[in-house]
Chains A and B, each alone.
Chain A
Amino acid sequence: MRYTLLFHYQEATADELGPEVLAEGQRAMSAYAATLHAAGVLLGGEVLHTSELSTTVRVRDGVTQVQDGPFADTKEQLGGTIVIDVPDLDAAIAWAGQAPQAQWGTVEIRPGATHLVDGVWR
Chain B
Amino acid sequence: MSSDEARAAAERAARASYGKLVALLAAPDGDLAQAEDALAAAFEQALRRWPATGVPANPEGWLLTVARNRRRDAWRKPATAPLTEDSSLTGPLEEHDPYAIGDKRLELLFVCAHPAIEEPARTPLMLQTVLGFEAAEIARAYAVPPATMAQRLVRAKKRIKQARIPFAVPDRRAMPERLPPVLEAVYGCAAIAWRGDIGEAQYLAVTLAALLGAEAEAWGLAALTTFTLARRRSSFVPLDQQNPADWDAALIGEAETYLRRARPGGPPGRFQLEAAIQAVHCDRGRTGGTDWPALRTLYAALLTVAPSLGARVAAATVVGRLDGPEAGLAALPGGAGQFQPYWAARADLLARAGRDATAAYREAAALTDDADVAAFLTARISASG
Contacts and interface: CB of A to CB of B under 8 A. Distances in A.
A90 B178 CA distance: 12
Interface in A66-116: 87-91, 93, 109, 111
A96 B39 CA distance: 36
A47 interface: no
Contacts of B163: 89, 109, 111
Contacts of B165: 88-90
Contacts of B168: 90
A104 to B, nearest CB: 22
A90 B164 CA distance: 9
Interface string B113-151: 010100000000000000000000000000000000000
B166 interface: yes
A87 B166 contact: yes
Contact-residue bracket for chain A: under 10
Contacts of B162: 111
Contacts of A90: 165-166, 168, 170
A1 interface: yes
A4 to B, nearest CB: 12
Nearest to A87: B166
A88 B164 CA distance: 5
A109 B163 CA distance: 9
A88 B114 CA distance: 13
Nearest to A113: B162
A89 B168 CA distance: 11
B237 to A, nearest CB: 46
Nearest to B166: A88
Name, among A87, A91, A111, the residue most crowded by chain B CB atoms within 10 Å (CB to CB): A111
B290 to A, nearest CB: 47
B88 to A, nearest CB: 15
A99 to B, nearest CB: 17
Name, among A87, A89, A91, A111, the residue most crowded by chain B CB atoms within 10 Å (CB to CB): A89
B81 to A, nearest CB: 15
B112 to A, nearest CB: 14
A87 B164 CA distance: 8
Interface in A1-33: 1
Nearest to A109: B163
Contacts of A89: 114, 116, 163-166
A83 B29 CA distance: 22
Interface string B161-181: 011111010100000000000
Contacts of B164: 1, 87-89, 111
Nearest to B116: A89
Interface in B156-198: 162-166, 168, 170
Nearest to B160: A89
Contacts of A93: 116
Contacts of B116: 89, 93
Nearest to B162: A111
A101 to B, nearest CB: 19
Nearest to A94: B174
A90 B170 CA distance: 9
B47 to A, nearest CB: 36
Interface in B35-79: none
Nearest to B85: A122
Nearest to B174: A90
A122 to B, nearest CB: 10
Nearest to B30: A88
A95 to B, nearest CB: 14
A93 B166 CA distance: 12
A34 B114 CA distance: 29
A1 B86 CA distance: 10
A72 B325 CA distance: 59
B329 to A, nearest CB: 49
A88 B107 CA distance: 14
Nearest to A91: B166
A87 B116 CA distance: 16
Contacts of A1: 164
B158 to A, nearest CB: 11
B269 to A, nearest CB: 25
A79 to B, nearest CB: 23
11 contacts: A1-B164, A87-B166, A88-B166, A89-B114, A89-B163, A89-B164, A90-B168, A90-B170, A91-B166, A93-B116, A109-B163
Interface of A: 1, 87-91, 93, 109, 111
Instruction: Give me the 9 closest cross-chain CB pairs, A-B, nearest first.
Output: A88-B166, A88-B164, A111-B163, A89-B165, A89-B163, A1-B164, A90-B166, A89-B164, A111-B162
Given A87-B164, A89-B114, 8 more contacts: A1-B164, A88-B166, A89-B116, A89-B163, A89-B166, A90-B165, A90-B170, A111-B164
